[in-house]
């Protein structure tokens, strides 16, 4: 009995040993460990000599466990493959798919859960012959972790026949397509990074893109390829600025060195109205030490990036806003207004001190109320689901035009060409002591805020954008602080009238100074006209200049009214002046019309109407459909990242362009950069409120149009065109 047991156990031991030996040494495919099923797959059923093809190491991982990216993050190790290949064959490094952030307590790993394919390009030997078999042997080692970590390995083999031509394995087509979809896309953006100035400072990373495109980013995160270059677990701040999107990456223990490029994967999430897609780009940022200055001045610190960062408290934000408001007083468009107010105070000081105080407070009230009003409108629009930022006004050309006219008119006033209602603007001169002086002071405050708008937009846009992303009360508080900062000098003067004695005495110099102040206003008007030329093209420019001539003419006519000898002369001059003014203002609604918009230069790579793409318009579209032409409509915008990626990767690929040409499909591009209402309506017909939208209309009008996915692939577009 004892012997039998001994024998049995001996047999079991032998069996077990044999199994162990098999598991340890034998090669198989797939290899199953406790946590991972690893499979080596080939994209081809045969490969031609010397050609490159892809294989994939697939890891099917049990729930809750993960393997790692090339940078595993705070712990862990990336999967490694040692290849044993036939002579002359070569294997390239793993092409890593986009990793996930995997938090472990306060630490963060970068890796893969559930199912991942690691692609490896293999090149067959040149001297292989059709009929040969390539035996690929992969000695793969991976660390698989949940709360604990287990190093596992397997030797996987795969035989790939050599044929006269490389043939794709249809059975694996979908698998490799999904593996490629999981790779980061080549970045359409230039990028630059700088070594941190101190080990404690952030590492700035600039993704170059137009400001309006950067403003569509709802989330940004950079996976640095080299371990410990950035603190993997720390949130990353980002901001939209003049040059693009700047990320502030908290510097890790092994910082980027000066002159070193920064590689990794950038994750961007678009705002819902800009497509709402999550995009991954492979980024190699060239070294650029100049980024530090930019990061310090601009956006990076200002905007705590929508989601990730939360470094600034409300009090700190309010303090910054107060300081910013104070600085607004120095802006070229505001300074003249401010100076006029100061001059009026000098006058008042010479007269009644109480009036000076009252006027100062009224001015403060005007500023604060205007800021509250603007903030209120912005918040109301936000509540209504419209996503806009500070400076949104400048996106509409009619507002820019109106502002340009206002600046021009103020300039004329300051230069002394005319006066508003007997007194000069903002209660200058003798009218100061009159009853209208108080109203004048209040509206000077309002005016100061209005003219500050174009100056603030480029610089305060991001900071105020942050404010707008906060709850309504917080946003209002920040706007109020900004207004308070702007009104602060006069508030102080009102509270301490004694300070007025420090101001220079009134005298003839005031008139000269006032006239001089006309020029910053003219400069501001010139800048706005230039902005307008960008938006509305030569037609818009012509309209604006014509409007200004008319305003000048109206001013001259109005001056003739007082000089006219007879009453009918006064009436005629007055009526003509009114007509000229109306004609000038009539340009405002015209400039927003599609007639003008059509002449505007396209900002979208200038390709809106190149040889292959025609500009979309309801009429053009209807005409093509009436002719029975198949039509592909691409609704896009210069600020839309997904659109850009689709145009670069899918729509402009040679295969797709040839396919379009061969199929006779007419390509229409609808540019929504300026929110063309006709396009908005077309989008709404497909239940969309934003771009991109791709619609393919078959020649047969009885057939329904096909809506393509928001992220296009070359194969997807070709497949739809084939189906026509």
Q: Point out which residues bind other proteins (CB under 8 A).
A: 74-77, 104-107, 109, 141, 143, 145, 147-151, 198-202, 227-228, 231, 234, 242-243, 248, 250-254, 295-298, 300-302, 311-312, 316, 320, 323-324, 327, 330-332, 455, 458-460, 463, 523, 527, 530, 534
Which contiguous run of DSSP H or E holds residue 430? none
Min. distance of Cβ 250 from other proteins in angstroms?
A: 4
Alpha carbon 290 to its chain centroid, in Å, reads 22
Distance CA(701)–CA(629), nearest Å, equals: 9
Instruction: Using CB atoms within 10 Å of the CB of residue 405, give its burial: 0 to 12 exposed, 13 to 18 middle, 19+ buried.
Output: buried
Nearer to other proteins, 53 or 459 (CB): 459
- State in angstroms the smallest separation of the CB of 374 from other proteins: 19
Residue 312 CB, nearest distance to other proteins (Å)? 7
In angstroms, give the least distance from the CB of 433 to other proteins.
35
Nearer to other proteins, 589 or 601 (CB): 601
**Least Cβ distance, residue 230 to other proteins (angstroms):** 10
Closer residue to other proteins, CB minimum distance, 149 or 446: 149
The end-to-end CA distance of the chain, in Å, is: 79
| Residue among 114 and 310 whose Cβ is closer to other proteins | 310
In contact, 327 and 463? CB cutoff 8 Å: no
Residues 104-131: b if buried by 16+ CB within 10 A, e if exposed: beeebbbbbbeebbbbbebbbbeebeee
Beta carbon nearer to other proteins, 202 or 720: 202
Return the closest-CA partner of residue 36 out of 128, 117, 121, 127.
117
Q: Looking at beta carbons only, is 297 or 593 nearer to other proteins?
A: 297
Give the nearest distance from C-beta 652 to other proteins in angstroms: 24
* Rg value, the chain, Cα: 34
Crossing angle between the packed helical segments 335-350 and 518-563, to the nearest 10 degrees: 60
Residue 253 or residue 687: which is nearer to other proteins going by CB?
A: 253
For other proteins, give the closer residue by CB, 16 or 530.
530
Closest to 667 (Cα-Cα) out of 715, 604, 624, 723: 624
Q: Quick one: DSSP state of residue 184?
A: P
CB nearer to other proteins: give 168 or 234: 234
Q: CB-wise, 68 or 660, nearer to other proteins?
A: 68
- CB 508, min distance to other proteins, A: 28
C-alpha separations of 660 from 5, 257, 657 in Å = 77, 47, 5
Between 156 and 463, CB nearer to other proteins = 463
- How far are the Cα atoms of 538, 587, 599, 664, 675 from residue 596, in angstroms, in the given order? 9, 11, 6, 31, 14
How many CB atoms neighbour CB 103 within 10 A?
Answer: 13
How far apart CA 364 and CA 452 sit, in angstroms, is 15
CA 559 to chain centre: 49
CA separation for the pair 437, 340 (Å, rounded): 13
Q: How many residues does the chain have?
A: 724
Distance CA 229, CA 212 (A): 30
- Rounded least distance, CB 723 to other proteins, Å: 43
Shorter beta-carbon distance to other proteins: residue 253 or 563: 253
Cβ-based nearer residue to other proteins, 94 or 295: 295
The reply to whether omega before 692 is within 30° of 0 (cis) is yes
Say which residues have a Cβ less than 8 Å from residue 265's Cβ, sequence separation at least 6: 98, 99, 184, 222, 223, 225, 280, 281, 282, 283
Q: Is 27 helix (H, G, I), strand (E, B) or coil?
A: coil
| CA pair distance 569, 248, nearest whole angstrom | 67
Cβ 615 vs Cβ 609: under 8 Å: yes
Closest contact distance (angstroms) between CB of 411 and other proteins is 16
State in angstroms the smallest separation of the CB of 101 from other proteins: 14
Contacts of 314 (CB under 8 A, 6+ apart): 470, 474, 477, 478
CB neighbours (10 Å) of residue 546?
13
Q: Which is nearer to other proteins, 145 or 345 (CB)?
A: 145
CB nearer to other proteins: pick between 47 and 247? 247
Least CB distance from residue 477 to other proteins, whole Å? 17
Least separation in angstroms between CB 536 and other proteins: 15
d(CA 120, CA 216): 35
CA dist 454 → 101, 393, 400, 415 (Å)? 41, 9, 8, 21
Cβ-in-10-Å burial (0-12, 13-18, 19+) of 171 comes to exposed
Provide, rounded to whole angstroms, the least separation between the CB of residue 199 and other proteins: 6
Find the shortest distance in angstroms from Cβ 255 to other proteins: 9
Q: Determine the 3-state secondary structure of 53 from DSSP.
A: strand
CA separation, residue 607 to residues 95, 322, 531, 674 (Å): 33, 44, 21, 16
Provide the minimum distance between the beta carbon of 646 and other proteins in the complex, in angstroms, as a whole number: 25
Nearest approach in angstroms of CB 104 to other proteins is: 5
Which CB atom, from 251 or from 604, has the smaller least distance to other proteins? 251
For residue 457, how far is the Cα from the chain centroid? 16
Closest CA to 465 of 716, 245, 249: 245
Looking at beta carbons only, is 42 or 535 nearer to other proteins? 535
Q: How far is the CB of 320 from other proteins (least distance, A)?
A: 6
């Amino acid at each position: 009995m004892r012997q039998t047991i001994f024998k049995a156990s001996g047999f079991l031991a032998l069996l077990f040993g044999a199994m162990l030996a098999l598991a340890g040494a034998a090669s198989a495919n797939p290899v199953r460990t406790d946590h991972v099923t690893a499979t080596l797959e080939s994209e081809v059923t045969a490969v031609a000599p010397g050609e490159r093809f892809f294989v994939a190491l697939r890891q099917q991982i049990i729930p809750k466990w993960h393997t790692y990216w090339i940078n595993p993050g705070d712990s862990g190790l990336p999967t490694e493959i040692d290849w044993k290949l036939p002579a002359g064959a070569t294997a390239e490094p793993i092409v890593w798919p986009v990793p996930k952030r995997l938090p472990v307590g306060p630490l963060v790993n970068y890796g893969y859960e559930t199912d991942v394919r690691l692609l490896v390009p293999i090149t067959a030997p040149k001297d292989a012959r059709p009929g040969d078999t390539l035996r690929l042997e992969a000695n793969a080692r991976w660390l698989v972790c949940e709360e604990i970590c287990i190093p596992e390995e397997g030797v996987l083999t795969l035989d790939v026949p050599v044929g006269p031509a490389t043939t794709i394995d249809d059975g694996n087509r979908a698998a490799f397509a999904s593996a490629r979809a999981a790779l980061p896309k080549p970045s359409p953006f230039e990028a630059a990074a700088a070594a941190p100035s101190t080990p404690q400072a952030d590492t700035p990373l600039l993704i170059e893109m137009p400001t309006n495109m950067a403003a569509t980013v709802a989330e940004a995160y950079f996976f640095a390829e080299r371990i410990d270059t950035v603190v993997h677990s720390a949130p990353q701040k980002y901001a939209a600025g003049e040059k693009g999107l700047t990320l502030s990456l908290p510097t890790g223990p092994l910082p980027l060195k000066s002159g070193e490029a920064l590689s990794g994967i950038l994750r961007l999430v678009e705002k819902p109205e800009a497509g709402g897609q999550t995009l991954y780009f492979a980024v190699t940022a060239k070294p650029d030490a100049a980024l530090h200055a930019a990061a310090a001045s601009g956006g990076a610190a200002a905007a705590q990036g929508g989601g990730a960062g939360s470094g600034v408290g409300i009090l700190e934000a309010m303090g910054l806003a107060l300081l910013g408001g104070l600085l607004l007083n120095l802006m070229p468009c505001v300074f003249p207004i401010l100076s006029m107010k100061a001059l009026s105070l000098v006058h008042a000081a010479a007269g009644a001190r109480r009036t000076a105080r009252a006027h100062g407070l009224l001015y403060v009230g005007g500023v604060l109320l205007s800021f509250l009003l603007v903030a209120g409108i912005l918040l109301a629009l936000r509540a209504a689901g419209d996503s806009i930022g500070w400076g949104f006004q400048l996106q509409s050309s009619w507002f820019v035009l109106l502002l340009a006219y206002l600046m021009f008119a103020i300039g004329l006033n300051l230069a002394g060409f005319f006066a508003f209602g007997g007194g000069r603007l903002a209660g200058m001169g003798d009218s100061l002591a009159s009853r209208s002086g108080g109203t004048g002071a209040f509206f000077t405050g309002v005016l100061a805020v209005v003219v500050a708008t174009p100056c603030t937009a480029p610089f305060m846009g991001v900071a105020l954008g942050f404010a707008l992303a906060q709850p309504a009360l917080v946003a209002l508080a920040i706007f109020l602080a900004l207004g308070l900062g702007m009104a602060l000098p006069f508030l102080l003067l009102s509270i301490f009238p004694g300070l007025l004695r420090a101001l220079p005495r009134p005298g003839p110099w005031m008139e000269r100074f006032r006239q001089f102040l006309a020029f910053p206003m003219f400069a501001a008007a010139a800048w706005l006209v230039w902005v307008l030329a960008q938006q509305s093209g030569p037609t818009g420019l012509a309209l604006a200049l014509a409007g200004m001539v008319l305003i000048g003419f109206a001013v001259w006519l109005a001056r003739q009214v007082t000089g006219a000898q007879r009453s009918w002369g006064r009436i005629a001059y007055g009526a003509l002046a009114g007509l000229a003014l109306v004609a000038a203002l009539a340009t405002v609604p015209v400039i927003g019309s599609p007639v003008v918009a059509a002449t505007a230069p396209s900002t979208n790579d200038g390709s809106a109407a190149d040889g292959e793409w025609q500009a979309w318009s309801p009429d053009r579209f209807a005409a093509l459909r009436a002719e029975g032409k198949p039509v592909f409509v691409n609704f896009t915008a210069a600020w839309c990242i997904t659109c850009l990626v689709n145009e670069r990767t899918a729509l402009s690929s040679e295969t797709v362009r040839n396919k379009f040409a061969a199929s006779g499909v007419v390509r229409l591009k609808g540019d929504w950069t300026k929110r063309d209402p006709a396009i908005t309506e077309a989008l709404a017909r497909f239940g969309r409120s934003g771009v991109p939208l791709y619609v393919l209309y078959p020649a047969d009008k009885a057939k329904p149009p096909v809506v393509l996915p928001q992220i296009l692939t070359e194969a997807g577009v070709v497949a739809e065109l084939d189906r026509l």
